[in-house]
Structure 1
Amino acid sequence: MRTLSCTVGLLLSVSIYCCIAMPQGVKQMSPVSCCFEFFTGRVPSKQIVSVMETHSSCGAKAFVVTTAKRRKICVGHYVNWAQEAFKKQNVIEG
């Protein structure tokens, strides 16, 4: 009976650990933000808070531009103003 209790307790502990660890592992493996629709206009540089590249596993290379109003906008990787904003941000930070 004691062996059965220990075995059940061990299995329960492992199951709980897996349930806690699994979402964190999946979160790290999956792309944080991929773009599927792209903004075709221009965001004024004064309104840009940050510019990030999409994850390398995303289907399309793009930038995610965050505005002063906390809006996240997808912009194609080839768009000149987005490239310049990204370079400017990385020169200041780097």
Structure 2
Amino acid sequence: MKPVCLTLGLLLLAACCCDAMPKGLQVFNTQTVNCCSEMSSGRIPLKFITNITKTSSACAQPAFIVHTLKRKMICYNQTSQWVLDIYNTLQ
């Protein structure tokens, strides 16, 4: 009986410590997903932009998130040509 309990205990421990997740379950991941509900239309000079990221595919609206020097995150539509140009420049 002891070897069975030991084996089941080690298997349970390995399952708890493993962070692998099937692709189908990644939607239910507990990590924060940044999505945009409102889009901005004003331009930001390149010297004030620190990074640009795309929103997750789990978001309803595809968008770019522009990170500024003042640590603000501003959403822009992915069809905005100037944001797309800056995104391609920074990548």
TM-score, normalised to structure 1's length? 0.66
Residue aligned with 2:15, SS:
helix
Secondary structure of 1:36's counterpart equals: coil
Compared with structure 1, are the counterparts of its residues 21 and 70 closer, same or farther at alpha carbon in structure 2 (3 Å cutoff)? farther
How much has 1:86 moved relative to structure 2?
A: 0.5
After superposition, residues 43-62 of structure 1 pair within 5 angstroms as 43-62=44-63
Distance in 1 between the 2:11 and 2:75 partners?
Answer: 41
Residue 63 of structure 2 contacts residue 75 of structure 2 at CA under 8 Å; is this kept in 1? yes
Do the aligned partners of residues 70 and 20 (structure 1) sit closer, same or farther apart at CA in structure 2, a change above 3 Å counting?
farther
Gaps of 5+ in 1: none
Which residue matches 1:13? 10
RMSD of the TM alignment (CA)? 2.7
Take 1:34 and 1:86, find their aligned partners in 2: how far apart are those partners? 17
Provide, for residues 17-69 of structure 1, a one-character-per-residue CA deviation record: whole Å limited to 9, x for no partner.
Answer: 111214x527x934863413234143332111111222334322111222223
User: Percent identity at matched positions?
Assistant: 24
Please list every run of 5 or more consecutive structure 2 residues that lacks an aligned counterpart in the other structure: none
Cα distance, 1:72–1:18 mapped onto 2, change above 3 Å: farther
Aligned residue pairs: how many? 85
